[in-house]
């Protein structure tokens, strides 16, 4: 999205105002509900209360402990799952025999909705961090393995032939020709894995309830009917997802810079 | 790894291409069996010699007989039906809403200016992030499931529809101008067909996400459905029930995906006919 910063350094005020109209309307309604006392339901808390909760929880450190625990889990599972996925994806991409042997099974297992694994994992690995990291690895594994495989398979034939002409060794061929050509697809998989791992972190924390984390903060808030804490949790979940996405986009942009700008416009 | 030959489609110069493809398919089919069979064998041996207690790993035969029992008693079909109904209702509601929003934002820059930032804000939080909030607002009834599944389907469909319409090449539109198409002709003959592949992509993602959300919500807040069967079996340490239900979850996911792929083949046939 380089075009946005090049030509759009002058912010279009009208568009920003239009974009803010709907949120402003919703916030006004939220505010008015309290100001005029239209409801006394415990479900509705004033906006100020959410802020107070944020300040209180960050002062006691609970917020940071939860966030730290969730992020540590998220990254551990993501790293483990995507590394294994990368290895398996390369193996499947390079060997047609392996692809035929393992590919169909992998494609079938992939169809099992991610969260259905949690009860099984809880029996096999308990409710602690091990189980959560195993589940997160599973979530990160599938997008990486499939995209790595597809990336390698769609390396243009001409590139391989050029490599042959230069009499590259298999290791050179892999490192200099195959992997760079497959990189966009591989990165796509890693990016998806990052999104799925965060989704799975929440799911694991809801369902494997031992320990702390943002998911536990949310569950806790719901059980005690603390709407302020639930809303705060949702904002944090969104913010973390957004930040992870931003980091991935940034790294992707840097890593794939050699491809030139032509693809960046789509 | 003796030599690094990227497996490329073999060029059948000697044999007729069709026969070669058929042969290829047969080989692929034959090769797809050893691996799952080996896993099944290890599972069987591990359970037979009780390397792991049956509460942790029930033998495959037990899972199979449990599966048959669950079908015969009607427990499985009943829960399956409930889950299917939920996912289809939620997917239909969320999908139609997503298409409507996507078309609106794709065709009208003004509507896009007003709606897109808020849409992105909502989309930033994964579906199951909304679950505790929704549980507080609407309880754990049927409404919760439908709303959550709708949200899961809504986001990818709205986003892909919008991007698909945005991405229609201006060259196509210029050609249509040359032919003096009316606005409706332009939309129905040029813009919508050109955007269809990406819109369809969104629909496939939407269905996958809806199925994912269904299982999550049924695991967390339900007293019937496939997800509930899994939780229930887990609580009673009946892993045979859990595994049977997990297999069904996989089979349904597989079937839903296949159905959409088949429709896609028909719907987008014109794309390949040109070549």
Q: Is A173 on the interface with B (CB under 8 A)?
A: yes
Say yes or no for a CB contact (<8 Å) between B233 and A178. no
Say yes or no for a CB contact (<8 Å) between B113 and A15. yes
pLDDT of residue B229: 94
Residues in chain A, overall count? 266
CATH architecture of B56-269: Orthogonal Bundle (1.10)
With beta carbons less than 8 A apart as the criterion, state whether B253 and B261 touch.
Answer: no
pLDDT of residue B3: 46
Cβ-based contacts of B244 with chain A (< 8 Å): none
User: Is the pLDDT assigned to residue A265 strictly greater than 50?
Assistant: no
User: Is the pLDDT assigned to residue A259 strictly greater than 90?
Assistant: no
| Optimal mutation site among A102, A119, A215, interface B, most CBs of chain B within 10 A | A119
With beta carbons less than 8 A apart as the criterion, state whether B233 and B239 touch.
Answer: yes
Q: H or E element: which one contains A265?
A: none
pLDDT of residue B103: 95
Say yes or no for a CB contact (<8 Å) between B246 and A120. yes
Partner A, chain B 170-209, Cβ-Cβ below 8 Å:
none
Residue B255: exposure state from Cβ atoms within 10 A (0-12, 13-18, ≥19): exposed
User: Is the pLDDT assigned to residue A3 strictly greater than 60?
Assistant: no
Structure tokens at B151: 């949200």
Say yes or no for a CB contact (<8 Å) between A95 and B211. no
Q: State the nearest Cα–Cα gap between A51 and chain B, in angstroms.
A: 17
CA A109 to the chain's CA centroid = 21
Cβ-based contacts of B124 with chain A (< 8 Å): 238-239, 241-242
Q: Where is average pLDDT lowest: A164-168, A255-259, B224-228?
A: A255-259
Structure tokens at B165: 């319409």
User: Is the pLDDT assigned to residue A205 strictly greater than 60?
Assistant: yes
Using CA coordinates, name the residue in chain B closest to A209.
Answer: B220
Partner residue facing B35 (CB), from A101, A116, A195: A101
Q: State the nearest Cα–Cα gap between A60 and chain B, in angstroms.
A: 23
Phi, psi of A154 (to 5 degrees): -100, 15
With beta carbons less than 8 A apart as the criterion, state whether A77 and A136 touch.
Answer: yes
Structure tokens at A113: 């909705």
pLDDT string in tens for chain B (275-residue length): 344 555 544 444 444 555 556 677 888 888 889 999 999 999 999 988 888 888 888 999 999 999 999 999 999 999 999 999 999 999 999 999 999 999 999 999 999 999 999 999 999 899 999 999 999 989 889 999 999 999 999 999 999 999 999 988 888 888 888 888 888 888 888 889 889 999 999 999 999 999 999 999 999 988 999 999 999 999 998 999 999 999 999 999 999 989 998 998 888 776 655 44
With beta carbons less than 8 A apart as the criterion, state whether A266 and B166 touch.
Answer: no
Secondary structure class of A253 (helix, strand, coil): helix
Torsion angle (degrees, nearest 10) of CA B88, A105, B33, B55: -90
Q: At what angle do helices A13-35 and A47-60 cross, to 10 degrees?
A: 90
Domains in chain A, ordered, with CATH?
47-263 (1.10.3720.10)
Question: Whole-angstrom Cα distance, residue A119 to residue B139?
Answer: 23
Q: State the nearest Cα–Cα gap between B237 and chain A, in angstroms.
A: 8
Taking phi over 0 as left and psi of -120 to 50 as alpha, with beta for the rest, B237 belongs to left
Residue spans of alpha helices (H) in chain A? 2-7, 13-35, 47-60, 62-94, 96-110, 117-125, 129-153, 157-165, 170-172, 179-207, 214-223, 227-255
Q: At what angle do helices B60-72 and B34-48 cross, to 10 degrees?
A: 100
pLDDT of residue B275: 43
Residues 6+ positions from B179 with CB-CB distance below 8 Å = none
Residue spans of alpha helices (H) in B34-141? 34-48, 60-72, 75-107, 109-123, 131-138
Determine the Cα angle at A112 with ends A108 and A118, to 5°.
140
Structure tokens at A169: 């060794």
With beta carbons less than 8 A apart as the criterion, state whether B6 and A150 touch.
Answer: no
With beta carbons less than 8 A apart as the criterion, state whether B125 and A237 touch.
Answer: yes
Q: Is A95 on the interface with B (CB under 8 A)?
A: yes
Q: What is the DSSP code string of B10-43? A: P--SSS-HHHHHHHHHHHHHHHTSHHHHHHHHHH
- How many cross-chain Cβ pairs, A to B, lie less than 8 Å apart? 166
Q: Is A100 on the interface with B (CB under 8 A)?
A: yes
With beta carbons less than 8 A apart as the criterion, state whether A112 and B212 touch.
Answer: no
Q: H or E element: which one contains A39?
A: none
Partner A, chain B 44-103, Cβ-Cβ below 8 Å:
55-56
Q: How many angstroms separate the Cα of B199 from the Cα of each of B168, B220, B259?
A: 12, 31, 16
Residue with tokens 């380089």: A2
- A210: how many CB neighbours lie within 10 A of its CB? 13
Average pLDDT of chain A is: 88
Phi, psi of A82 (to 5 degrees): -75, -30
Residues in chain B, overall count? 275
User: Is the pLDDT assigned to residue A261 strictly greater than 60?
Assistant: no
Partner residue facing B113 (CB), from A18, A122, A173: A18
With beta carbons less than 8 A apart as the criterion, state whether B268 and B196 touch.
Answer: yes
pLDDT tens profile A79-120:
999 999 999 999 999 998 999 999 999 988 998 999 999 999
Structure tokens at B242: 């859990």
pLDDT tens profile A179-195:
999 999 999 999 999 99
Q: Which of A258, A187, A246 is nearest to A1 (CA)?
A: A246
pLDDT tens profile A139-148:
999 999 999 9
| Optimal mutation site among A114, A115, A118, A178, interface B, most CBs of chain B within 10 A | A115
Secondary structure class of B81 (helix, strand, coil): helix
Rounded average pLDDT over A135-161 = 93
Q: State the nearest Cα–Cα gap between A105 and chain B, in angstroms.
A: 7
Partner B, chain A 179-198, Cβ-Cβ below 8 Å:
195, 198
pLDDT of residue B14: 46
């Amino acid at each position: 999205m380089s075009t946005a910063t090049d030509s759009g350094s002058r912010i279009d005020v009208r568009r920003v105002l239009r974009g803010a109209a709907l949120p402003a309307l919703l916030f006004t309604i939220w505010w008015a509900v309290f100001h005029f006392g239209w409801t006394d339901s415990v479900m509705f808390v004033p906006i100020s209360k959410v802020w107070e909760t944020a300040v209180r929880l960050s002062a006691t450190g609970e917020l940071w402990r939860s966030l730290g625990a969730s992020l540590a889990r998220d990254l551990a599972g993501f790293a483990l799952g995507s590394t294994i996925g990368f290895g398996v994806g390369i193996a499947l991409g390079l060997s047609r025999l392996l692809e035929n042997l393992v590919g169909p099974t992998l494609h079938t297992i992939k169809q099992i909705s991610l969260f259905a694994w949690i009860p099984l994992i809880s029996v096999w690995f308990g409710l602690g961090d091990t189980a959560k990291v195993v589940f997160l690895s599973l979530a990160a594994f599938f997008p990486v393995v499939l995209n790595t495989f597809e990336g390698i398979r769609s390396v243009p034939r001409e590139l391989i032939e050029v490599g042959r002409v230069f009499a590259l060794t298999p290791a050179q061929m892999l490192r200099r020709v195959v992997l760079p050509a497959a990189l966009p697809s591989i990165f796509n998989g890693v990016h998806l894995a990052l999104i799925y791992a965060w989704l799975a972190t929440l799911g694991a924390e809801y369902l494997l309830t031992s320990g702390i984390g943002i998911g536990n903060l949310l569950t806790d808030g719901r059980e005690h009917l603390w709407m302020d804490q639930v809303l705060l949790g949702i904002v944090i979940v969104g913010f973390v997802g957004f930040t992870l996405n931003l980091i991935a986009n940034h790294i992707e942009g840097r890593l794939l810079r050699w491809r030139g700008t032509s693809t960046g416009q789509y | 790894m003796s030599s690094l030959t990227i497996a490329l489609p073999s060029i059948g110069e000697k044999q007729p291409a069709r026969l070669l493809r058929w042969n290829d398919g047969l080989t692929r089919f034959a090769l797809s069996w050893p691996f799952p069979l080996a896993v099944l064998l290890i599972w069987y041996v591990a359970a037979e010699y009780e390397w792991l207690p049956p509460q942790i790993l029930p033998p495959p035969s037990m899972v199979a007989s449990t599966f048959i029992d669950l079908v015969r008693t009607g427990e499985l079909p009943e829960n399956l039906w409930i889950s299917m109904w939920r996912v289809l209702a939620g997917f239909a509601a969320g999908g139609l809403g997503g298409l409507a929003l996507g078309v609106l934002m794709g065709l009208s820059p003004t509507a896009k200016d007003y709606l897109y930032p808020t849409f992105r804000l909502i989309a930033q939080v994964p579906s199951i992030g909304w679950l505790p909030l929704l549980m507080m607002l609407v309880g754990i009834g049927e409404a919760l499931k439908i709303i959550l599944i709708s949200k899961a389907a809504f986001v990818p469909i709205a986003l892909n529809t919008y991007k698909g319409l945005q991405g229609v090449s201006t060259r196509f539109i210029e050609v249509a101008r040359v032919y003096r198409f009316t606005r409706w002709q332009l939309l129905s003959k040029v813009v919508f067909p050109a955007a269809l592949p990406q819109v369809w992509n969104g629909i496939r993602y939407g269905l996958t996400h809806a199925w994912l959300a269904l299982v999550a919500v049924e695991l967390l807040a339900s007293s019937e459905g496939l997800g509930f069967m899994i939780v229930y079996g887990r609580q009673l340490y009946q892993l045979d029930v859990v595994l049977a239900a997990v297999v069904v979850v996989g089979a349904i996911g597989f079937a839903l995906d296949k159905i959409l792929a088949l429709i896609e083949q028909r719907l987008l046939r014109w794309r390949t006919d040109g070549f």
